[in-house]
Structure 1
């Protein structure tokens, strides 16, 4: 009942009270009654027209009985005695996070679950969902308007705890995270559909392991990195040793070839050639030609 209808009823009651010959305002009783009827009728028609906002559907309840028909967005003519509740059918999100004031509830609202190896993991989760429009009356009838805290939150938290018990903590954090997220989606989606909701997306935003496990993982990673570094160093040293072996073999082969091909006459020719080049240079020098007693000394200042 809106304000106009209440004012109309009050005006009608007042007109009946003042409709007394002893009352000084008796002559206004009829006028007051007419005004009351006008307000009552106007309020009645205004109550009978309801506007539903975009992205919403309306659900009617008359004396506690919920009607199965939904009201689409726009103007709708309804029973003036009906109570209309709007339900949001757009995509909604519900975040449960360990960071203060990031989730729907204040404080630490992350999900804590036990893994298959008995370790406690902390999971931050965001659920994207929406209401099936045709299911809005059933949701209102069975759950009320607070369906988020009645269905979305407890189902998501329960399913994650149940499924986390099938995985080891380290696998949840690394290799089997995608598989874990997929199984959660399937389980929650099935429960949501039974309640008139559609699960659009499930985001496992963060998985936090116990500090002892994190330190063990970090130690393992450091050890693997050191092993990879040592493997690289050994490969490099092996390649350097191979290079030196090839170089030494090349030098040995060269010397072998030179030794086998040089003769006394060729060596003498090379010596004379070198001495000639030295004699033709501008620097002061002493040139000895020949060897032994037969050698000649040339001095070029």
Structure 2
């Protein structure tokens, strides 16, 4: 729009020059002047209207002085001499990862390298979700500028992670203390962001990479624990089987004791007679009982 206004001003100047120095183009001086004023008017008129896209706000500056009020989404009427800087107020993310394809476009990746409480280097991949506070956009422009991601988000996040990692050893960061560590750095980063007009929505630890030696130790420990658990299971199973056999043997012994001490000769004779009677009464059966001892009779049957 400024270029259009400048073009109109040049046309007006040229028209006055043609009027003051008569030549073959003098007849066009009036037309050039009219066109110049029309262009200037159109430039000023269009500069007074600013359209702000959805999810953005505009910050006005007049000769370098930042205005305290903002332009909301939609069509706004402003002083044509003002410049407008647009800020994105939607959720933004910054991923810091070991792999270049997963993180920001920095050669070799930009994961956070920290020293744990036990002096080991731990590499942390994480994602930061944040947004700027719309009403604080003028302050951000004045104190930080539009590059607040590189000036505030990245350095504050990396510094606070390093500051808090020293309270944990490497294995705890990797396993039992991971959630606690994430909540701790979230609170400290959130406080720093808020002072700068930025809201921290979420901080997601995506991965924690331990040194190879530590990984090997952890894997060995896990394997040993699994073997121990397996051995405990086998021992419990063997104990149960031994208990089952003991109970079974005790039952057999009790049974034999009952048989040997609880049955008299008369009872055995009675049971024998009952069995013989049932067998003799069965159809299509020939039964021969031959017993030369005792009082049990010999029974012959063809039925």
Q: Same fold (TM over 0.5)?
A: yes
Indicate conservation of the 8 Å contact 1:96/1:105, yes or no: no
Per-residue CA distance 1:9-64 (angstroms, 9 max, x = gap):
23213323333554212111011011101110110111122111122111112222
Q: Corresponding residue for 1:251?
A: 252
For residue 289 of structure 1, give the secondary structure of its aligned residue in structure 2. coil
Q: Would the aligned equivalents of 2:49 and 2:78 in 1 still touch at CA under 8 Å?
A: yes
Q: Match of 1:89?
A: 89
Contact kept? 2:288, 2:298, Cα under 8 Å: no
Match of 1:207 in 2: 208
- Does 2:180 correspond to 1:179? yes
1:289 is displaced (CA, Å) by 2.2
Distance 1:16 1:128, change over 3 A: same
1:229 aligned counterpart, secondary structure: helix
Aligned residue runs from structure 1 range 1-301, under 5 A: 1-19=1-19, 22-106=22-106, 107-271=108-272, 287-291=289-293
**TM-align CA RMSD:** 2.4
Unaligned runs of 5+ in 2: none
Q: Distance in 1 between matches of 2:62 and 2:255?
A: 109
Per-residue CA deviation, residues 177-235 of structure 1 (Å, 9 max, x unaligned), is 11111110111111111111111111111111111111111111111111111111111
Matched-pair contact (CA < 8 Å) for 2:68–2:138: yes
Deviation (angstroms), 1:104: 2.5
| Matched residues, number | 300
Paired with 1:148 and 1:248, the residues of 2 have a C-alpha distance of 79
Q: 1:30 to 1:273 in 2, by over 3 A?
A: same
Secondary structure class of the residue paired with 1:159 = helix
Counterparts of 1:268 and 1:290, CA distance in 2 = 14
TM-score w.r.t. structure 1 length?
Answer: 0.90
Q: Match of 2:290, SS?
A: strand
Query: How many angstroms does 1:278 deviate by?
Result: 6.5
SS, match of residue 199 in structure 2: strand
Distance 1:48 1:284 in 2: 126
- Tell me, yes or no, if the aligned pair for 1:116 and 1:165 is still in contact at 8 Å: yes
- CA deviation after TM superposition for structure 1 residue 5, in Å: 1.1
C-alpha distance in 1 between matches for 2:224 and 2:284: 67
SS at match of 1:113: strand
Q: Partners in 2 of 1:119 and 1:268 — Cα distance? A: 88
By how many angstroms is 1:171 displaced? 0.6
Residue deviations 1:72-124 (CA, integer Å, cap 9, x gap): 22222222121110111122111111122222224422111110101111111
Deviation at 1:295, TM superposition (A): 9.6
Q: Please give the alpha-carbon distance, in whole angstroms, between the structure 2 residues aligned to 1:146 and 1:68.
A: 19
TM-score, reference length from structure 2? 0.89
Q: Do 2:60 and 2:70's aligned partners in 1 also have CA atoms closer than 8 Å? A: yes
Q: Per-residue deviation at 1:165?
A: 1.2
